[in-house]
Amino acid sequence: MKLLICRTIIIYLCVLFAMRLMGKRQLGELQPEELVSTILISNLASISIESEEVPITSSLIPLFLIAALELLGSVLSFRSQKFFNFLSGRPKTVILDGQIDQNALRMLRLTTADLMEALRGKNIFDPREVSYAVIETNGTLSVALRPEKEPARLADLQVKAEHTNATIPFVLDGQVLEDNLRWCGKDRAWLERMAQANTLLPEEILLLIGNETEDYFLLKKESRHPGGSPMR
């Protein structure tokens, strides 16, 4: 059991390190080669954890080799558009001037139902409102509406916009976000004053959001008895 726990921890840390090496895109929409790398890494990790007779290095070496290949592919993709197209393919236009390109859908093996579902996900229910729509290399749909269907902007209405302050979190689950405080021109002393004004300690705050002004929203943690009911 101890060996299994140790192997699991080692594999977890190595997989985490490998995923960090491959960059933030691994955590978002995946390119085809990134999806392959992720699947292979997860399989290698599961084999090493489940099979104690398999040496841990038998999984770690190919794991880091896959990460290295992914890094190499990323570097080559930055340097060569042809190599990027070879690995990830090209974006494909599926709607142009409100007309659905059926040949493009067949090449992408997408049905009209798939396309309409993707459009509805962007609050578009009529393809005739679309100037052009493109299926990106990661499978997402990018859409540009016809000019007359675009929502009106303040600049179009010649209305002067007032400066608005972004509202960001200062405390999450009792953890103080020092960088966010500094970004809004505040410090730990300001936070402690806000907490004292609400008869709280910073670690007793569940959520505190605010901006550059003195306006803020604070939510305290609920104290509970061992039985689980709120204290009164």
Whether 95 has a pLDDT exceeding 90, the answer reads: yes
Same domain, 104 and 76: no
pLDDT classification of 215: cutoffs 50, 70, 90? confident
pLDDT classification of 28: cutoffs 50, 70, 90? very low
Among 4-8, 16-20, 50-54, 128-132, top mean pLDDT goes to 128-132
Same domain, 69 and 142: no
Does residue 76 fall inside a structural domain? yes
Same domain, 8 and 76: yes
| End residue of a domain, out of 86, 113, 138 | 86
Same domain, 214 and 186: yes
Whether 175 has a pLDDT exceeding 80, the answer reads: yes
Among 19-33, 102-116, 152-166, top mean pLDDT goes to 102-116
Show the 3-state SS of the chain.
Answer: CHHHHHHHHHHHHHHHHHHHHCCHHHHCCCCHHHHHHHHHHHHHHHHHHHCCCCCCHHHHHHHHHHHHHHHHHHHHHHHCHHHHHHHHCCCEEEEECCEECHHHHHHHCCCHHHHHHHHHCCCCCCHHHEEEEEECCCCCEEEEECHHHCCCCCCCCCCCCCCCCCCEEEEECCEECHHHHHHCCCCHHHHHHHHHHCCCCHHHEEEEEECCCCCEEEEECCCECCCCCECC
- Cα angle 135, 141, 142; round to 5: 100
Q: Which domain holds residue 208?
A: 168-220
Mean pLDDT rounded to a whole number for the chain: 79
Return the CATH number at 212.
3.30.240.20
Does residue 229 fall inside a structural domain? no
pLDDT score, position 24:
46
pLDDT score, position 140:
86
pLDDT classification of 232: cutoffs 50, 70, 90? very low
Does residue 162 fall inside a structural domain? no
Mean pLDDT value across residues 189-194: 90
Distance of alpha carbon 94 from alpha carbon 104, whole angstroms: 6
pLDDT score, position 183:
86
Same domain, 16 and 77: yes
User: Buried b / exposed e across 175-198, counting CB within 10 Å, b at 16+?
Assistant: ebeeebbeebebeeebbeebbeee
Same domain, 104 and 74: no
pLDDT classification of 189: cutoffs 50, 70, 90? very high
Same domain, 78 and 96: no
Same domain, 134 and 67: no
* Most distant CA pair in the chain, distance: 72
pLDDT score, position 230:
39
pLDDT score, position 26:
42
pLDDT score, position 25:
47
Q: Are 73 and 21 within 8 A, CB to CB?
A: no
Q: How many domains does the chain have?
A: 3
Does residue 231 fall inside a structural domain? no
Same domain, 109 and 57: no
